Every structure is written in C-alpha cells, then in structure tokens.
Chain A
Amino acid sequence: MAACWLLRSLSSNFSTVLPLLARSASLSPLQLASKPYFGRTLASSSRLSAALKFTDKHEWIRVEDGIGTVGISSFAQEALGDVVYCGLPEVGTQLAQQDEFGALESVKAASELYSPLTGEVVEVNTLLADNPGLVNKSCYKDGKYTHKRHSAVRGGYSDICMRHFRLMQELKQN
C-alpha cells in the first residue's frame, strides 16, 4: 500500500519520542531503510532515520533530513471507516506533543488528531482537504499529514546525532 501523509514538521523532540515509537512496522509492506545512520551523519548521510515508527494512537512518523512526516496507520484508517472530512493545521502552527492539531471525520464520528511531535508545521498535505478518502486509500503515502520543524533537540541520542540535527537546522535557516 502506498504511504499517505498528513503533515510535515521540524520537531524539537524526535530524540525523546522516536526511540519509544519503534513498534513493529508489520502493517506496512513499504518498509523503508530502517538503519539510522547515526555514526555517519556529519560526513555524508542526509537521512537520520527513514523507518516508519508507530505511536500507540496509530499514527506513523518518518524522519528524514530533520523533518518528521506524520500519517495514520492502516489499522487506524480501517477502524475509522470511510473518511469524509480531514481538517489540518496551517503551515507555521506551533504544536506541542499531544496537542490536538486537526480532525478526521468518518461516518458520523469526529476523531481528533494528536501531535506525536513538538515542532512547527512546515508543510500540509493539501490534497486531503478535497480528497479525504485518500486517507483510507493510501494511508502511507498520499494521505500523510504535514512535516514539522525542529526548534531544539533534547538528549537521548548520541552527541554526533545531536550535532547532525543542529547542523541541519543551521543549514535550513540559511
């Protein structure tokens, strides 16, 4: 199944959140390279981790280039039923982990979306506004949420990794 994204953000808490989220990606036949290149970050690799990680609320996150992409899992979209409405935040919105950032509506059930990350929304999948059914059809690709931006990095990763994040942040700011 292709992956459907909802939003992208630079996050301030990938380091604390991601290690906790590594549930089995058995739902996704689309398993991207799961080896995080921590040791080689400064030198060459632009990908911190391309694995899909899942929260206990059935959202998935993929981190690439310091940007987190958020979507909902196959399990969640099946449980919801046909999605008839998808409301997402504006680019630039600051979100804290667990903040309510949007909503999905399936057959008469309104369900809130909670942010798995802290950060700033940098991109929203605008296709979903007109085509909320994409969340069901391709929950791992076209139905993804938006990306979020890091504002700071906290411990949990190695020093090399932290320097990588800051480097990426500086690069993005220039």
Chain B
Amino acid sequence: MSESTMMSQVRRTFSLLNQRACSSSCSRSSSSFFTDSDSAGLVLQSHSTDVYQNLALEDWIDANVDLQGRGVLLLWRNRPAVVIGRHQNPWTECNLPAMRRAGIPLARRRSGGGTVFHDLGNLNLTFFASKKAYDRQRNLKVVTDALRRLRPGLDVQATDRFDILLNGRYKISGTASRLSRKSSYHHCTLLHSADRSTLSSVLRPSCPGIQSNATPSVPSPVANLLDHAPSLQWEELLGALVQQYNTEFDLHSALTVIDPTNESMFPGVGEMEVELRSWDWTFGKTPKFTMETQLELTNEQPPACCSARLQMEVKNGRIESCHLDIPVDWLPVRLSGELSSVLIGERFCPHRAAAAFSALMRSESGATHTRLHRLCDAILTVMG
C-alpha cells in the first residue's frame, strides 16, 4: 500500500472515529466501516521527536477519537526531555538548573505517576481505549510477550505497580495513565538505549526544604534493553511490539507514521501544544507547597557568618508569602522586609527573583549592598 493511500485511510478512519466532527449524515457510511476489522484498531507512530507535540497528539486522540469498541496504539519518542506527572512538583523531582544548562526542557503530562527522563533511546507506547477496555496489565503483556518472542531467554516481568523489571531488579518500563469522561489512555516508557548518566543527573531535586502533597516519584534502578540484548535493534523492537499488539487484540493494523503538527488531520492540536508549553501549565499547575530552609551567609570584612531562615509559600507556581529571619546586626529589618515583599506575586523562579532584587539593590551601597547581594544570591540558589 502506498504512503498516500495509507494516509488517506488514516484520515478517513480519524474522521469516522471523530465523534465531534461526524454529523448524523456520516453515520450511515460508518456502519460498513465498523465491519472492517482494520477499523477496530489503529497503530500509529509519531514522526515528531518534540515532547510537547507528542503530548499534544495524545491529548488530541484522547479528546477526539471515539474509542468505544476500538483501540489505538501510538508509538513515539522524544529528544531529551524530563516529563513530570500531572500532580508533581518539578522543584523536588528534577534538577532544573542542570536541565537549563543542558538545554533539556521540562514537560508536565496529563497522566499521573512519577518523573521520567526521555531521550531517543526511550520508546513511549500509548494504549488508548474506552474506560471499559482499560486494562494496564493486558497492555504490559503486549510488551513482555513481544520482548520474550524477540529474545526468549529475557527475564522481563510486569509488577503489580505496573513497572516492567528486567532480571527482577532493573526497571525498563514505567507506567502512567489518565481516565477521562469516556476514554482512557495508558502510556509507558521502554528503555532501549537511553543515556543513563544524563538520566541520573537530571532526576535529582533542585530545591531543599520543600513540603507538599504533590505525588512523589519512587526512584528505581534502571537498565537499558540494549545492555542485556546487544543485538536488539530499534526497528526490530518496534516491529515486534506492533505485531504483538495486533495478536493480543486480534487486529491487522499496519504501522502508520503521522505528523502530529498536521492541523488538517488533527484540528486544534496546535493549541494543545501551546498550552503544554506554557509556564502556567508546566509550573503553574504545581500543587501548593511551602519551602523552608537555612541560608548560610558569610562575610569577609570583617569575617562573620550567620544563618538566616527563609520560608515561602508557593501557590500556582507563584510566591504567595515569604518570611526572612535574619539577625538584625547583619541586615536591617527594613531591608529583609522589603526583600520579602518584593517577591510576593512573582513566579517561583530565580530569573524573576533576580529581576525583582536588582531594583532593591540599586538603592543600597557599601557594606549593606554587599550583604544584600550575598543574601539575594543565597535565595536564588535555593530557588533552583
């Protein structure tokens, strides 16, 4: 089948599956489509390696495709990115300064679960189904069965936490899911050949002293499939997964590569991408938290050292309250008060805080200026 024939079949499938777009006049043609076994499932692979475009595509499929009685499998991978769960706190889950330095973006997904590092050596699989057909263990069985077919000696098992472990120890796959009004999706990672040293350096907290009820990650030792099955090629892995999905769900779907930025095929997907990239979504959706920490402040002339206590409440990613307890002989109360109040309403972000501080610092000079500068630097450091 030519690419354009496949694309028009996918387009036709989407428009028939699209509950919203389909007016009642469409339904007479869909009845014959239902009898075609290929319409019972779709296997797609995203052409994009942009985490926001791929997450937007998931949102689009979840919102627009009628999943009653049919499923969709989406395969995708991203250029390096950290992805946090819906209700997580990025400041406790990942090393934001290290990510900034390395140009690794942060994305918040809509499903629950913990923080993961994605790169081109990690395969993501999303199983879309109706809520009735939601069955994570069955989906994970597709993965473990496919791996065992490829390499019969491989010890891979799904756990009751929906992780997949290699040799009973190393996590090669983590799972998360989202339940919407009528539909569901379950996605999981699969570590083929990810960069493990970058993974461990970015999955560390940025900020000390944070208390919140955000969902925490459960850290696990990980391994790459390639380390334990050195001849396992990426394409071979994908092929086996598609075949096993078809076997498990009694389908005959060919893998179709799609462009998730195609507005004519996925109308509205661009807007979903914009929302996922926004600060308000990524950081602003962090459940409220308090941060409390000691700042060590030193002086050279005269040599002196003191501790200050910093406490902040952050809601929707913005500083709602800020208290600074500094010995009065180190910095006048007036100044520590001004410093606190200038942060109120600002994003919990070192760049924004630095901009807020600079105006304050301009009006001071001499020793006071130096101490103020030290204090500001200490605060910026603990803000990630």
CB within 8 Å of B: which residues of A? 57, 84-85, 87, 103, 105-112, 114, 129-130, 132
Contact = CB atoms under 8 A, between A and B. Distances in A.
A24 B161 CA distance: 34
B180 interface: yes
A163 B100 CA distance: 61
A108 B214 contact: no
B320 to A, nearest CB: 13
B215 interface: yes
B179 A111 contact: yes
A109 B178 contact: yes
A37 to B, nearest CB: 34
A109 B161 contact: no
B181 A84 contact: no
B112 interface: yes
Interface in B215-237: 215
A105 B87 contact: yes
Contacts of A112: 179-181
A129 B214 CA distance: 9
A110 B111 contact: yes
Interface of B: 85-87, 110-114, 161-162, 175-181, 213-215, 287
Please give me the 5 A-B residue pairs with the lowest Cβ-Cβ distance, nearest first.
A110-B112, A108-B113, A111-B179, A105-B112, A109-B177
B226 to A, nearest CB: 26
Contacts of B287: 85, 87, 129
Given A87-B287, A103-B87, A109 B213 contact: no
A72 to B, nearest CB: 13
Contacts of A57: 181
B360 to A, nearest CB: 31
Given A103-B87, A114-B181, A130-B213, A108 B110 contact: no
B213 A107 contact: no
B313 to A, nearest CB: 14
A132 B213 contact: yes
5 contacts: A108-B111, A108-B162, A109-B111, A109-B177, A110-B176
Given A85-B87, A103-B87, A108 B179 contact: no
A105 B215 contact: yes
B175 A108 contact: yes
A105 B109 CA distance: 13
A114 B287 CA distance: 19
A110 B181 contact: no
Contact of A109 (B112, B114, B181, B214): B112
A112 B214 CA distance: 16
A16 B228 CA distance: 61
B134 to A, nearest CB: 9
Contacts of B179: 109-112
Contacts of B161: 107-108
A108 B112 contact: yes
A8 B162 CA distance: 35
Given A103-B86, A103-B87, A110 B213 contact: no
A103 B287 CA distance: 12
B86 A105 contact: yes
B259 to A, nearest CB: 27
A166 B85 CA distance: 44
A106 B112 CA distance: 8
A118 B82 CA distance: 38
B180 A85 contact: no
B64 to A, nearest CB: 16
A75 to B, nearest CB: 13
A164 B85 CA distance: 46
Task: Identify which of B85, B110, B178 gathers the most chain A CB atoms within 10 Å of its CB.
Answer: B178
Given A85-B287, A105-B86, A110 B177 contact: yes
Interface centre among A57, A85, A106 (most CB of B within 10 A): A85
Nearest to B287: A87
A174 B3 CA distance: 69
A109 B111 CA distance: 6
A84 B177 contact: no
B112 to A, nearest CB: 4
B177 A85 contact: no
B180 A108 contact: no
Contacts of A85: 87, 112, 213-215, 287
Contacts of A84: 215
Given A108-B112, A108-B177, A110-B178, A129 B213 contact: yes
B211 to A, nearest CB: 11
A110 B175 contact: no
